[in-house]
Amino acid sequence: MGSMSITLVNPNELPKIDAYRQVSVATGSKLVFVAGQVAWDADGNTIGAGDLATQVEQSYLNVGAALAAVGATFADVTKLTVYVVDWTPDKMSGFVDGVARAAAKLGVTPVAPGTLIGVAALSSPEHLVEVEATAVLD
């Protein structure tokens, strides 16, 4: 599964990362910008309080729902930016676990270029992660 309007590239001069590609080239005509999604349900209740993996999973599922609302999927994503509160490298396994769980539920593997940024806090103290996406549609 993949978008006709996005080509993912790993230049030989850059390291090959399993979780994502280094570059995406988009040729579609409709850009989609998804606001940062946190681990909440439709009523604004936080899912997975204190559990990074569960919050990552819910945040990715919420991005998936936002994309679906405009006829897009993770295959159309050109760039993901992830903000994690108090990031330290030991949190990587929980992050990867949450992404894997979301990918399994969504039936996709999010491999668009990604940036993970450690932050001091998000808009609400119970949120541990926020995920925003840019996508392109034909």
d(CA 78, CA 58): 20
Q: What is the pLDDT of residue 1?
A: 42
pLDDT at 28: 82
pLDDT of residue 90: 97
Model confidence at 3, pLDDT cuts 50, 70, 90, reads low
Mean pLDDT across 101-123: 92
Q: What is the pLDDT of residues 11-61, one digit of tens each?
A: 999 999 888 889 999 888 899 999 999 999 999 999 999 999 999 999 999
Is pLDDT at 111 greater than 90 in this prediction?
A: no
Q: Is the pLDDT of residue 110 over 90?
A: no
Share of the chain above pLDDT 90, in %: 79
From first CA to last CA, the distance across the chain in angstroms is 15
pLDDT at 83 over 90: yes
Cα-flanking dihedrals φ and ψ of residue 7, to 5°? -115, 125
Mean pLDDT value across the chain:
93
E strand residue ranges, the chain: 6-9, 23-26, 30-37, 77-85, 114-119, 129-137
